[in-house]
Amino acid sequence: MHPLSITLIGEVKSPKAYFIRDFLQRNGFAFQWIEVTTDAEARQYAGLDSRSDPRFPVLALKDRTLYAPTLPDIVAALDLSVGPQLPEYDLAIYGAGPAGLSAAVYGASEGLRTILVERFSIGGQAGSTSRIENYLGFPEGISGADLASRAREQAIRLGAEILLAAEGVGGSIEQGKMIGVLDNGKTVTSRATICATGVEYIRLNVLNEKRFLGRGLYYGAGSSEANLCRDHVFVVGGGNSAGQAALHMASRVPKVTMLVRGNSLKDTLSQYLVDRIRLSPNIEVRTRCSLVAVDGDQTLERITYRDLECDEEIEEETSWLFVCIGGRPRTEWTEADMLARDSAGYILTGSDLLNGPSGAPWPLQRNPYPMETSLPGVFAAGDIRSNSIKRCATAVGEQLFLSRITFWPMRHRFSSESLRLRRTS
């Protein structure tokens, strides 16, 4: 945890306040949250006359106060994006989920000049989960934020540089070096790159979804919101992430209802979660259901779902809806034909590249290394990789393999290959 004194003041169902809460919590910043429900409280806590003043939320730091700050404002105030500090790195990693953090640990420990670039917060999907129970060495489970925070400490201690709130938005290969372009206009030059950008949540695609995002409707397990929930919570989804969200919420609110599209939780959920959900008296599971609408005035007030069994629409009142219906690969930073992908958009690597993927064929005489993409010297790891098992342990373990086969020869080999690639393409 960072030893900073931070207070955030605002309304609970404010999307901006949610965004900042989520950012602070997932990046391991200790902060005090003050909820404002009346104009008197707005005056008392923030010195603003009305609780609907557009200058909310207010972020009070030790030495300054920020009104309705954007992510770049916060990043600057917390001194988070000072790098890249070196003109060139051996290894640049994009995405600080378990895969990226682990690559940073192993890359730096092999003596490589390593930089890890993360668009939002460390931990990725894992950082949003309240408890990971199947990770080796933590018999009681560990919160994703805690695991991520330990990994960050380890990576930094071993010499990796971490750039937070910086997004990779493009890249090129010039004179054998990879130039990553960040959203803040800066560039990162490296001899090799690991893409560990994971997946993003699949959206509901229902009417009004955008209107209630952060105002009662949340994607993911809601680790930053759980303490604020007070009444009946609905969780959409039947996978492990939805199961964990339901269990986490159930320890805080009187009732949790899971809306599951399939016939039973057993088909999609790990057995230990099925067992724990069965033993939770305040979790109700409704199967064969599909959410069709969200509604309310300023904030979420009700949802409608279709009972697929009897083809009926059912309306329920709730002001808390958490959606965990899976992910899709996050590859918007790369042009469609730059890297070979499978039909679902996941990046193809290693021997999969030799099996005739469409577009971006493997360009060199030698075979690709395991986890190497169709662009020599660019690797993919974790959930973004085609055919990977979507789990923390896999995302982390893959880097060990990478370190054995690629980190050592990386310094010389890829630069010359990249030159060849440029000449022939």
Ligand X SMILES: Cc1cc2nc3c(=O)[nH]c(=O)nc-3n(C[C@H](O)[C@H](O)[C@H](O)COP(=O)(O)OP(=O)(O)OC[C@H]3O[C@@H](n4cnc5c(N)ncnc54)[C@H](O)[C@@H]3O)c2cc1C
Which residues of the chain form contacts with ligand X (CB under 6 A)?
A: 94-100, 117-120, 124-126, 128-129, 132-134, 167-168, 196-199, 220-221, 240-241, 244, 324, 330, 333, 382-384, 390-393, 395
Is residue 137 classed exposed, middle or buried when 0-12, 13-18 and 19+ CB atoms within 10 A define those classes?
exposed
- Nearest CA-CA partner of 187 in 88, 334, 332: 88
Question: From the CB of 45, what's the least distance to ligand X, in Å?
Answer: 31
Question: From the CB of 100, what's the least distance to ligand X, in Å?
Answer: 5
| Residues 178 and 190: beta-carbon distance below 8 Å | yes
Question: From the CB of 63, what's the least distance to ligand X, in Å?
Answer: 28
| Residues 333 and 118: beta-carbon distance below 8 Å | no
| Residues 156 and 106: beta-carbon distance below 8 Å | no
Structure-derived torsion over alpha carbons of residues 88, 397, 134, 2, reported in degrees to the nearest 10:
-20
3-state class (DSSP) for residue 262: coil
Supply 111's token pair: 């003596």
| Residues 170 and 188: beta-carbon distance below 8 Å | no
Task: Indicate the residue among 211 and 261 with the shorter CB distance to ligand X.
Answer: 261
Task: Indicate the residue among 60 and 145 with the shorter CB distance to ligand X.
Answer: 145
Annotate 170-216 with DSSP letters as a single string. Answer: EEEEETTEEEEEETTS-EEEEEEEEE---EEEPP---TTHHHHBTTT
Name the β-bridge partners of 300. Answer: 296
> Omega into 98 within 30° of 0, i.e. cis?
no
Question: From the CB of 329, what's the least distance to ligand X, in Å?
Answer: 10
Task: Indicate the residue among 98 and 216 with the shorter CB distance to ligand X.
Answer: 98
Task: Indicate the residue among 240 and 319 with the shorter CB distance to ligand X.
Answer: 240
Which amino acid belongs to residue 361? P
Helix axes 144-157, 15-26, angle to 10 degrees: 50
For 79, 206, 302, 326, 331, the CA distances from 106, given in Å and listed in that order, are: 26, 42, 48, 29, 24
Task: Indicate the residue among 38 and 184 with the shorter CB distance to ligand X.
Answer: 184
Question: From the CB of 132, what's the least distance to ligand X, in Å?
Answer: 4
CA within 13 Å, CB half, 291: 28
| Residues 322 and 214: beta-carbon distance below 8 Å | no
Rounded CA-CA distance 232/254 in Å is: 6
Length of the chain, in residues: 425
What is the enclosing helix (H) or strand (E) of 306?
A: strand 300-307
Task: Indicate the residue among 22 and 383 with the shorter CB distance to ligand X.
Answer: 383
Task: Indicate the residue among 78 and 246 with the shorter CB distance to ligand X.
Answer: 246
Rounded CA-CA distance 277/246 in Å is: 8
Question: From the CB of 173, what's the least distance to ligand X, in Å?
Answer: 17
- Residue ranges in 191-333 assigned as alpha helix (H): 209-212, 240-250, 271-278
Task: Indicate the residue among 364 and 393 with the shorter CB distance to ligand X.
Answer: 393
Task: Indicate the residue among 119 and 215 with the shorter CB distance to ligand X.
Answer: 119
Rg (CA), the chain: 23
Task: Indicate the residue among 129 and 386 with the shorter CB distance to ligand X.
Answer: 129
Question: From the CB of 365, what's the least distance to ligand X, in Å?
Answer: 30
Rounded CA-CA distance 163/116 in Å is: 6
Task: Indicate the residue among 58 and 325 with the shorter CB distance to ligand X.
Answer: 325
Question: From the CB of 18, what's the least distance to ligand X, in Å?
Answer: 16
Question: From the CB of 160, what's the least distance to ligand X, in Å?
Answer: 15
